[in-house]
């Protein structure tokens, strides 16, 4: 590939990508960024209505597997009358509402990160390499950059593309510096806009462009999260479908977190802290719902 990549940087068989940057020292730096101890859950609910959903991913379903109508089902185990359990079956796409992309989510020129062939993804068994289960769990210093606050607006207008200069201006305004091993959260205000206006999806959204994506990857960040549907601006920069996904996931091995609720962090002007992310270990999956925990 002609572009700058991280292919081979951590070995030809590497499946972790930028997670290799999260050394114990950088995790401790994340813990040291905690000041108030307030805990923020950045995930939004998984439900059939009232949240932004992509039509082709279907409607999330919570189905009752067992309830009080099954009273007596556990009598064989010694359950007394009136004692039972409620259980559910959950059916939803791996990229429903707040979620994390695996490195096998997007391919370019028929290849994923580190040269892994797109053909490694099978319909039945899933990804032979780079599946979300390879992530495990991670924690590090989270840095939230609030672009609506920078511009003095409640949210960025649809289609607004964030540039490297915007990120540098936000750094200066918030007195923070994005560094190696950081998990960067870019607030556009899109979720606030969606909950206020409930527009149809997909449609124009603010987000980062290629220049900002390259700027972030050059800073050696581990992951980039946003409060929109794709982290990147829509329409796509240069009219190149998933341009930022290709730059971050495929070329650089930098993870992406989408549909994060950053409003409470913004209201508290909480810009740095310890961020912990634990995707579901679904073998061969291209992504997973997440509820990242930010400790300010």
- Model's pTM, two decimal places? 0.95
Q: What is the pLDDT of residue 1?
A: 45
pLDDT < 50: residue spans in the chain:
1
Q: What is the pLDDT of residue 201?
A: 73
Distance CA 17, CA 197 (A): 37
Query: How do residues 102-147 score in pLDDT, each as one tens digit?
Result: 999 999 999 999 999 999 999 999 999 999 999 999 999 999 999 9
Q: What is the pLDDT of residue 2?
A: 53
Query: How do residues 229-247 score in pLDDT, each as one tens digit?
Result: 999 999 999 999 999 999 9
Q: Percent of the chain scored above 70 by pLDDT?
A: 99
Domains of the chain are 17-54+93-295 (3.50.30.50), 59-91 (no CATH)
Q: What is the pLDDT of residue 199?
A: 80
Q: What is the pLDDT of residue 73?
A: 86
């Amino acid at each position: 590939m002609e572009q700058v990549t991280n292919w081979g940087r951590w070995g030809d068989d590497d499946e972790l990508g930028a997670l290799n940057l999260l050394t114990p020292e950088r995790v401790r730096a994340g813990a040291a960024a905690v000041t108030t101890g307030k805990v923020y859950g950045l995930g939004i609910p998984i439900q059939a209505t009232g949240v932004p959903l992509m039509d082709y991913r279907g409607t999330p379903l919570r189905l009752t597997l067992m309830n009080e109508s099954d009273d007596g089902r556990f009598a064989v185990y010694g359950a007394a009358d009136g004692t039972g359990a409620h259980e559910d079956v959950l059916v939803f796409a791996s990229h429903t509402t707040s979620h994390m992309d695996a490195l096998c989510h997007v391919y370019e020129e028929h290849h994923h990160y580190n040269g892994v062939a797109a053909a490694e993804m099978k319909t039945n068994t899933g990804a032979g390499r780079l599946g979300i289960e390879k992530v495990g769990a991670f924690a590090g210093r989270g840095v939230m950059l609030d672009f609506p606050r920078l511009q003095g607006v409640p949210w960025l207008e649809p289609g607004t593309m964030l540039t490297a200069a915007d990120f540098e201006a936000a750094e200066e305004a918030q007195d923070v510096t994005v560094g190696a091993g950081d998990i960067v959260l870019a607030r556009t205000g899109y979720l606030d806009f969606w909950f206020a206006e409930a527009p149809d999806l997909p449609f124009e959204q603010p987000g980062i462009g290629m220049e900002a994506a390259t700027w972030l990857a050059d800073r050696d960040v581990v992951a980039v999260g946003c409060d929109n549907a794709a982290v990147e601006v829509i329409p796509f920069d240069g009219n190149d479908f998933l341009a930022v996904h290709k730059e971050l996931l495929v070329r650089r091995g930098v993870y992406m977190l989408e549909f994060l609720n950053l409003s409470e962090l913004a209201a508290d002007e909480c810009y740095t802290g310890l961020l912990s992310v634990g995707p579901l270990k679904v073998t061969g999956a291209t992504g997973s719902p997440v509820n990242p925990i930010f400790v300010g």
